[in-house]
Amino acid sequence: MTDRTGDICSDDWQRLITAREMYARSSGIHYDEILHQVAQRAQSEGSIGKADIGALLLFKRLRADTPWARALMTTADTAVRQATAAATAVRNPALSRSEAARAGRAALAGLPGFTRGDALASTVLTAAAPHRMAVYDRRAHTALSSLGISLTHASGRYSRYIAALDDLLSQAPSPAHAWTPRDLNIALYCLPPNSAGMGSA
């Protein structure tokens, strides 16, 4: 099975816009503070260390009482920073967003907690390039499916996720035409179940 992208109707865009507005009202201006703070440090330091990955775990509300978390804690911070510095390829304007996502995800693959799944890796990559990347989660994946946009779990899913968001943003109406991939990720995450796809093309 291959991924499929495509246009969505104006009603579905309005649902996404409403969902993004709902997030702003319910979460306020403070929920993303951790992400913004880590992004600022990543910009100035050129890498992301274990302390900031711990902060991103809180932001993403992921469990840390896991074997991979212990393995990451026993990995030297210099090794973690070497991998996350390589992952800042996501900032390279010479690469498309999906190409950058592929390169950034590959750079993180050797770290404990980053070998499988895209939740934490995508959060680190979004902190590295907050205006280019977006957080991946199952709710956003489900929302894409409800809009008629298929995304398989095959290898390279994160880059294909970013490509799907890019494709949607290329035909977004106002005010969504000014959104970043992160804005669209938030809208997808907040889209009420079964509300999308009513008139999807």
How big is the CA angle at 184 (ends 183 and 187), to the nearest 5 degrees? 90
User: Can you give the residue ranges of every domain in the chain?
Assistant: 10-29+135-190, 33-128
Q: What's the CA gap between 43 and 3, in Å, rounded?
A: 33
End-to-end CA distance of the chain: 19
Buried b (16+ CB within 10 A) or exposed e, 18-46: ebbeebeeeeeeeebebbeebbebbeeee
Each residue's pLDDT tens digit in the chain (201 positions)?
A: 445 445 789 999 999 999 999 988 887 778 899 999 999 999 999 999 999 999 999 999 888 889 999 999 999 999 999 999 999 999 999 999 999 999 999 999 999 999 989 999 999 999 999 999 999 999 999 999 999 999 999 999 999 999 999 999 999 999 999 999 999 999 999 998 765 443 322
Q: Contact, 123 vs 60, CB < 8 A?
A: yes
Q: What angle do CA 162, 75, 125 make, to 5 degrees?
A: 15
The answer to whether residues 128 and 39 touch, using CB atoms and an 8 Å cutoff, is yes
